Amino acid sequence: MLFAPASCPRLIVKIGSALLVDGGGGVRRGWLAGITADIAARARAGQQVAVVSSGAIALGAGRLGLAKGGRASLEDAQAAAAVGQIALSQVWAEVLAAEGLTAAQMLVTLGDLEDRRRYLNAAATLDRLLSLGVVPVINENDSVATAEIRFGDNDRLAARVAQAAAAQGVVLLSDVDGLFDRNPADPAARRIDRVERIDAAIEAMADTRSASGMGSGGMVSKIAAARIANAAGAHLAIASGQIDRPLSTPAPHTLFVAEKSAPARKAWLAGGLTARGTIHIDAGAARALKDGASLLAAGAIRLEGDFSRGDPVAIAGPDGTMARGLAEYDADDARRLLGCRSEEHAALLGYAPRTALVHRNHMALI
């Protein structure tokens, strides 16, 4: 089984427009019921699954009768997305509920995931939803994103979501069943089963077109997604969704293997940026951090510096600097929480608190 729950506690499944929407602009309910059954089986086996679902533009275009699948202009695409998204989330909520699962909708833009403050918000929401057993259904917020701040394709969005959720695997389901060494229409074309490193030869195999003409992702965006996911420590598979139960039926695919070194994001946290402050912690908290825990305010003794939420900070234990991470609070608010237990935080701050001063997903030990 691709990305079995035991080796992949968190999985991101990206579903292309052509799988969800038929040529007449209707939802492919039978197929959707199949993949939802797959997701439910994985959830029962303990895997946390988030779905990145395309299809808003295609669905909306069908309902509005727009030409070129709603992609004739940015305005058309944005209007189609607004109409289609509400239908898409309703369908997901229904099919997941039929399997006893709760759906959540998250609409994000590139800007949301590039800005550190907003990235932390999105990551925290995603983490909480997944740990509550809810299935987040994520799409780009197409109706507000302008050309400059759009992902444009959900392949890269899925990879960024994997990074934010610290997932171990990403499956890109579409109408292609992998990366081929030349145009797949050529009878001599051969699928590449496994890619250990994305080099110039691999890039050269990509073809810019989306085969269905419905979505916007082609092989170029899939390889860009693989690069992001692999650098963040997640494996990525390009697999065909043109079978009924694509997450439980063995089928040929291309697997892009995650980088073995520390994920790039952690490396970036560990060395890349100048810390804007230092949080000093006690011996107990230092031990907890080494065991992979988040930094809780109860274990923090003192703060130096003036940082804002999302800024990189150093964390110093009794033996010196031991980690770096992104601050979950502005320095002034963090100071108020020093040494205090989580139950006290809401009263001290006057607003709903974060779970940690620095979350483990945004921290690297050094």
Nearer to ligand GLU, 47 or 139 (CB): 139
**Amino acid of residue 187:** P
Query: Which residue's CB atom is positioned nearest to ligand GLU?
Result: 215
141 binds ligand GLU (CB under 6 A): no
Centroid of chain to Cα 21? 22
CA distances from 44 to 9, 37, 38, 104, 171 (A): 12, 11, 10, 18, 19
Nearer to ligand GLU, 109 or 163 (CB): 109
112 binds ligand GLU (CB under 6 A): no
Q: Which region among 52-60, 198-206, 277-285, 303-311 touches ligand GLU (by CB under 6 A)? A: 52-60
Nearer to ligand GLU, 222 or 280 (CB): 222
- For residue 218, what are its two tokens? 């082609």
d(C-alpha 209, C-alpha 63), whole Å: 25
Which CB contacts under 8 angstroms, 24+ apart, belong to 40-43? Answer: 40/96, 40/99, 40/100, 40/101, 41/248, 42/5, 42/11, 42/247, 43/101, 43/133, 43/135
Nearer to ligand GLU, 57 or 165 (CB): 57
CA distances from 336 to 284, 296, 322 (A): 20, 13, 23
Q: Which region among 3-11, 55-63, 235-243, 277-285 touches ligand GLU (by CB under 6 A)? A: 55-63
Binds ligand GLU (CB under 6 A): choice among 5, 136, 217, 263: 217
Binds ligand GLU (CB under 6 A): choice among 8, 12, 40, 56: 56
In the β-sheet with 235-240, what is the strand arrangement from edge to edge? 103-108, 135-140, 48-53, 10-15, 169-174, 235-240, 253-256, 194-195
Binds ligand GLU (CB under 6 A): choice among 5, 25, 215, 246: 215
The 274-313 contact track toward ligand GLU, x by CB under 6 A, reads ----------------------------------------
Binds ligand GLU (CB under 6 A): choice among 54, 89, 212, 254: 54
Binds ligand GLU (CB under 6 A): choice among 3, 8, 15, 17: 17
Nearer to ligand GLU, 143 or 168 (CB): 143
Closest distance between ligand GLU and the C-beta of residue 214, in Å? 7
Closest distance between ligand GLU and the C-beta of residue 134, in Å? 20
β-strand partners of 312: 326
Binds ligand GLU (CB under 6 A): choice among 50, 57, 288, 358: 57
Q: In this structure, how many other beta carbons lie within 10 angstroms of the beta carbon of residue 300?
A: 22
Contact 322, 311 (CB under 8 A): no
The residues in 235-274 that bind ligand GLU, with binding defined as CB under 6 A, are none
The CA radius of gyration of the chain, in Å to the nearest whole number, is 22
Residue among 225, 228, 202 nearest 54 (CA): 225
Nearer to ligand GLU, 133 or 213 (CB): 213
Closest distance between ligand GLU and the C-beta of residue 184, in Å? 19
Contact 325, 268 (CB under 8 A): no
Q: In this structure, how many other beta carbons lie within 10 angstroms of the beta carbon of residue 118?
A: 15
Nearer to ligand GLU, 64 or 322 (CB): 64
127 binds ligand GLU (CB under 6 A): no
Chain residues that interact with ligand GLU, rule: CB under 6 A: 17, 54-58, 81, 139-140, 142, 153-154, 215-217
